Each structure stands twice: as C-alpha cells, then as structure tokens.
Structure 1
C-alpha cells in the first residue's frame, strides 16, 4: 500500500460508534480498513502514520462557504483543508459571480467586496455558471483546486442581471429571463439556488417570484438555500415563509445559518424545531446549518434598506 494510518479512532460518518482501526490507502483511494482485533495480518505500506490518539474521519462539508474567489487565489486552500474541509458549497446568500454580464459582474464585485475582496487580482474570464466551474477545474496550471466545490445559483445576482436594483415586482419577461438563467445554471452543474433575502436586490423578490424559480431548481433535483428575510423579530415567520414556498414548488430546502439567537427570540427555538418537525413529518425535504457563535456577522450595508 502507499499509506497506512495506524491505530486511528475512526469516525466514519455513518452515525455508528467510533472504532480503532488501521486504514490503508493505495492509489489515492481507501483500500482496506482493518479493525482492531480483526483476524488476518495488519496492512503495511511504504509510509506509515501513527494515528494513535487521533480521530480519522471523512472530509467535512462546509455547507455555507464564501470561498468563491479564495479558491482561485490559494492552490493549497489551506484555510479550509487544514481544518479537514474537503467540500465547500459556494454561491451563498444570493450574491456571487455567475451568471453575469459585464455590467452585473462589476456591480456584484462592488456589492460583496466586504466578503471576498474586490477581485482585482482575479481574471474574471467567465460569465456563466459553467464557465466559473470550468475555471475552478483548470486553475493553477490545469491542476484545479485543492478541495471539491459545489455551486448555488445566486438569486440576487440573477435578479440584478434581469431586473436591476429596483424595488418592484419583476415583469413577465424579466421573470422568464430569470427562469432561463436558473435553468441554464442548473444544466451547467449548479446544485441549487441561494438567496440573501435581507440583501439588495434579492430581497425585492416576492414569494411568487421565488416559488417560480424554485420550481426550476426542483426540476433539476436541486435545493433552495435561503438566507431568509429576518433573523430578528420576524424570524419564525421568515422560516414559515421558506417552508411554505418550497413545499408549494416541490423543492428541497436547506436553511442557511438557521438560528434563533437574537435576544428577541429567546426561548423560541422549540417553536422553530416544531415547525421543521411538522414539515418533515408531512413529507418535506428540509435540512439546515448553523454557526457556533452567538451574534451574527455581515457587512454594514446590510442594515439598509432592509
């Protein structure tokens, strides 16, 4: 074998109890897992790592990452890889860099400079979702990126592209264009659609518009990942809105940084869990992520006009 990780505490991701084992790797793939006490010889390799006292797990999935440009800057992507993250879900909060035209690209770069920098060091040689994903694959001299990436079509960017920054309902033609952009992005490899419904211009979309876009996502087997309309006094109602519209669209739902941690919501976490449990029992496809700190974090511009 190429590599053996000796005496590791294996946490395999199935939910089963951990166990001690030697894990052998050959040709870049796991070739053998030899549990402690199992019959037969222990695997040997040209390189052995003593993992006694250490946990060994599959790579972690970061379901909410803003590494859209960072992946194009650092060939090792050590900020995440060193934490065991091997898959990042990009295009979050309804604002990212594809699909765009020249105008939209300039506007989105300016609007999320606080997240990713202004990108002056990046060659923005793509305009479509497929073009961005291809760029990830051929970056660093064709070696590609150091981790896996999945992309969500950013609904705010799509609205910026088709409607602009106006606070108004989309026309029929504008809605048709947004649906075309989402359909194209899904066919080119996106896994779903995100929203940032406290950020402009995505926040100007009403439920009917979001439902129509989610129907397109659902046709491709994708999921909707909204940063919903309120984390404060209207949080529970905002969660209810997302559950309702995705169920109407027949679309899977993943709630981004789902939390009830603002003071006005003290004691309401059971209400959120009851809402989600009820929807799951009724057949909805819902998952969520959250973060391990007590306040929120975003750019100051998010305070206005929302």
Structure 2
C-alpha cells in the first residue's frame, strides 16, 4: 500500500510537456508513479480542479537570515517554493566575523565564519525548504577593504579570491555581485572577472545585479556577458529591467544581446519580478549630497524607522506636506537617526517590458 495518492490533479510536470489530468503516488517520501494509479493508499487526496507541480525554485532571494529566524519559511512554502538561492546582489551571510552582524540584508548576528558554519546553523534550525548559497562580492570586499573607493591591491584581491574559493569548496553554487551598491560600485570589470574565474572549476555561476539598470542598461549587459565569457562561467542576470520612463522598451535590446551571446555559445539566464517596482535600502540609491530628482519622484517608503508615520507614503507627498522638494525630502529621511535603515520602493518599470521579459524562454520569475 502506498503512503499517499493524489488523484485527478491537473499535472504540470516541469518538463515543458502539456498539462494533463492524472494521479501521483508517493511511497517512503518519494514519488513512485505519475499517471493513472490503481494503488491503494493510506491517504488519498482528491485534487480535482487543482494544479499539481514540482516545487518552485526561487532563484533570487535575500533569505540568508530568514532561514535562521523563520525556519518554517511559511511565506515561501505557501507560494509553492520549496528551494531558495540566497546570497544574491553581492550580499551574503558568509563570510562573517563571529559575534558581529552579517553583511547580508538580514544583518543577523553570526556565530560562524564560513559556509560550513552557516550550513550547520541552518540545518540546526530545521528549515522547511532547500537552500543554495551564492558568495557575495559586497560582503567579501567590505571585509577586506571596507568602503574604500579604489581598486584592491594584489594582497586584497588574493584574500577576496580565497574567500570565494573556500565558499565554493564548501558547497556554494556561485558568486554574486551588486554593482549598483556600495562597495561593489567602486570595483572595475577586471576585479569582478578575477573573482568570477574562481568559480569556473567548480561549475559555479556568476549572478549579477548589474552595474546599471537604467540609462546604461545595455553597457551593463555587455559587461556581465563579457565577464561570463572570459571567466568561463554561466551568467544569471538578476531582476532584468529598464528603469526610468525614457528607458522603457530597452529590454528588447538587452534580450537581443543575450540571444546573441547564447548563439555564440554562452550560458545565460535571467530572472524578473512580475511587477513594476523594485525595492531595497534607500541609502544605496541616492547620493545624499545630490539626490536624483527623477528617482525621488518615484519613491515610496516601505519601512522608515526614523519616521514610522511616513511608511506606505510616496516621498513627493511627504515633501509637499513639509513644504520642501522631493530631493530635500530624501536628505530629510536619510540624515535622520536610523534614516539609513529606510527601505524604499521604486516605481520605475513598465508593464510592457515585464511582458517582454516573461515571454523570453531564458527568463524566470
């Protein structure tokens, strides 16, 4: 007798085949049969009218800390995600300094220094899903160089390479960058290339939040593809978009660049979120001394420890209420105590570009 049979489900099996109605039999925690099952089972589930599919892999997350803080991962399991990739955008929970907060977006206190120690902590928490780790460039650069606005010297680069190599040896799936963020924005292509080369012998990937996603999107795509080709690694372009109204439509051109690279033998994939806004730490998107007025017009405050009553509001409305300009409101928020902890939403994308992305066979959500 089988453990479980799910009957009459609309099955989408993940192979690209057409959906079909059928049964799935589960024995000893494994799928033993897909199709029409005559097996008796201890548990039978009637899935008539429901879709049954393999668990989704969320390839772009910042769940490094959530795996420890919220191991039930209900916010992912409830959406059908059974695996996550962490360490994106150049920010990872490893390497870390024991006793200090990690340099990923969660900022949890670490009692580990490397991926092996992090893995042991995650396994102890008993997370409800699977996880893979990218080692983040911003994290290793911060550890070795702080926020220095310069290229690394030979010794600093070598130490960064050692961090990447150790992470790969311990099971990381690749190396990530966030080249719009500090301190990654102060690196040049050669620095990233020398680090990306380390993952090649491990068959790892290079995942990148590119250097630019607006006026210089196409040049940023060129850089990502160049790094992948010269390093001999697969490239994953993170949350592909063309930000800012004057750039809407450029995704067609950047996707054409990807198609050309693939035709020439490169391995390139992309991910996208299916909505017209992005989010992140507000301090990373603005020069406090000279805030971008166009971007300021598109900002909504999601989390604002300095001014909780601003949360959920557009920055332009806050500025009007205060009798100041939107750029002045940026400074008002970011220079307040805890202002740099503000998380903002940027309404900068076009629905048509999202459709273009989702229609492309190398783009995933």
TM-score (norm 1): 0.90
Higher relative contact order (CA 8 A, sep 6+): 1
**Counterpart pick for 1:172 among 145, 148, 154:** 154
Work out whether 1:219 is the aligned partner of 2:201: yes
Asked whether the equivalents of residues 95 and 140 of structure 2 are also in contact (C-alpha less than 8 Å), the reply is yes
Computed over aligned residues only, the root mean square deviation of the Cα atoms, in angstroms, reads 1.6
**Is residue 72 from structure 1 mapped to residue 72 from structure 2 by the alignment?**
no
Following superposition of structure 1 onto structure 2, how do residues 102-181 of structure 1 map, counting pairs within 5 Å? Answer: 102=98, 105-106=100-101, 108=103, 112=105, 116=106, 118-119=107-108, 124-139=110-125, 144-181=126-163
Q: How far off is 1:138 after superposition?
A: 2.0
Equivalent in the alignment of 2:254:
272
Contact 2:217/2:254 (8 A) holds in 1: no
1:92-113, CA deviations, whole angstroms, 9 ceiling, x for partnerless residues?
111122112259x44726xx3x
1:36-91 deviation per Cα after TM superposition (whole angstroms, max 9, x unaligned): xxxxx622201111100000000000010111111112232111011110000001
Cα distance in 2 for partners of 1:275, 1:199 equals 24
Number of residue-to-residue matches in the alignment: 287
Match of 1:4 in 2: 5
3-state DSSP of counterpart to 2:39:
coil
The answer as to whether partners of 1:3 and 1:26 remain within 8 angstroms in 2 is yes
2:221, 2:179 → 1: CA distance? 12
Cα offset for 1:264? 2.1
Equivalence for 2:351: none
| Structure-1 separation of matches of 2:46 and 2:225 | 47
Q: Distance in 1 between matches of 2:76 and 2:277?
A: 22
Instruction: Give the corresponding residue for 1:38.
Output: none
Residues in 2 aligned to 1:272 and 1:209: alpha-carbon distance in whole angstroms: 23
Q: Give the deviation of 1:231 after TM superposition.
A: 1.2
Question: 5 Å matches for 1:253-292?
Answer: 253-292=235-274
> Tell me, what secondary structure is at the counterpart of 1:189?
coil
1:297 is matched with which residue: 279, 284, 297?
279
Distance 1:261 1:50 in 2: 45
Name stretches of at least 5 consecutive residues in structure 2 with no aligned partner: 289-365
Q: Is 1:98 aligned with 2:94?
A: yes
Q: 1:305 to 1:200 in 2, by over 3 A?
A: farther
| Whole-angstrom distance in 2 between the partners of 1:47 and 1:81 | 21
Alpha-carbon separation, structure 2, partners of 1:227 and 1:78 = 26
For 2:172 and 2:220, the matched residues in 1 are separated by 25
Are the structure 2 counterparts of residues 204 and 189 from structure 1 closer, same or farther at C-alpha, using a change threshold of 3 Å?
same
- Relative to structure 1, the CA distance from residue 76 to residue 100 in structure 2 (aligned partners, 3 Å threshold; closer, same or farther) is closer
Cα displacement string for residues 8-46 of structure 1 (whole angstroms, at most 9, x for unaligned residues):
0110000010111111111110011133xxxxx622201
Q: Is the 8 A contact 2:96 2:102 kept in 1?
A: no
Q: Is the contact between residue 7 and residue 21 of structure 1 (CA under 8 Å) also seen in structure 2?
A: yes
Is residue 193–residue 224 contact of structure 1 (8 Å, CA) maintained in 2? yes
1:245 aligned to 194, 203, 227, which one? 227
Separation (CA, whole Å) in 2 of partners of 1:259 and 1:15: 25
Deviation for aligned residue 1:246: 1.5
CA contact (8 A) 1:23 1:34 kept: yes
Please give the alpha-carbon distance, in whole angstroms, between the structure 2 residues aligned to 1:106 and 1:53: 47
Q: Kindly tell me: are residues 133 and 257 of structure 1, through their superposed partners in 2, closer, same or farther at Cα, counting changes over 3 Å?
A: same
> Any conservation in 2 of the 1:4–1:22 contact (CA below 8 Å)?
yes
The alignment's TM-score, normalised by the length of structure 2, stands at 0.76
Q: Per-residue displacement from partner, 1:142-175 (whole Å, max 9, x unpaired)? A: xx21100000001110111112210000000000
Following superposition, the deviation at residue 275 of structure 1 comes to: 0.2
Which structure 1 residue ranges, 5 or more long, are not aligned? 36-40
